[in-house]
Structure 1
Amino acid sequence: MQQSKMGNTQDLKKLPMVFHHKSRQFSHSTVPYPRVEIAQDLPRQTTGDTSPATLWTSFNWHALTLDGSPEEEFEKLSRESGEDWKELLEMLSRT
């Protein structure tokens, strides 16, 4: 297993990010690039100029969410549901 500053390479489904409210951009929490800029500010999750965020990756779609937001909860629930279905389908394929 390979380790890097970006974390465990086996867990690429969730990457820690930071949203910078003043510049309206998401960046990785430890390296400045790549970054994603957006046209509008998002609701602050902290009193500072940055809010913790997460980049969710998969083969089908990617999402950026602010930690503690309803969108983060949606991503968690939708991905957990997908994992449940995957296990169920694998069980059914063995019978």
Structure 2
Amino acid sequence: MSIRSSEEFWNWSRNYLATALLASWYDGNPAYGMRAYLNDKVSRSMGIGTIRQLRTKKSAKCIMVEQFDQFIEGCQEELTSEWVLRMVWSS
């Protein structure tokens, strides 16, 4: 899935992300008594979740295992520690 606008992001987060994270039963009803549990009904959320955006480039360097070609369109460069060193936090 490729999200190209803030509207698409909010649509994805409401319709897919939230439902994947919040516990519900097989019929879609809320799982009462399972507050803070994720949808696997085993993992529990401790604190606030964070979404992090990673921007990568398509790369000829990456090697795709042949068996995955039919499932994955391409691959990106491996993330390195250089990215972390250059990150700028703003407040």
Give 1 or 2: higher strand fraction: 1
* TM-score tier after normalising by the smaller chain length: under 0.3
* TM-score, structure 2 normalization: 0.21
Which TM-score applies when normalising by structure 1? Answer: 0.21
Q: Which has the higher contact order (CA 8 A, sep 6+)?
A: 1
Higher Rg? 2
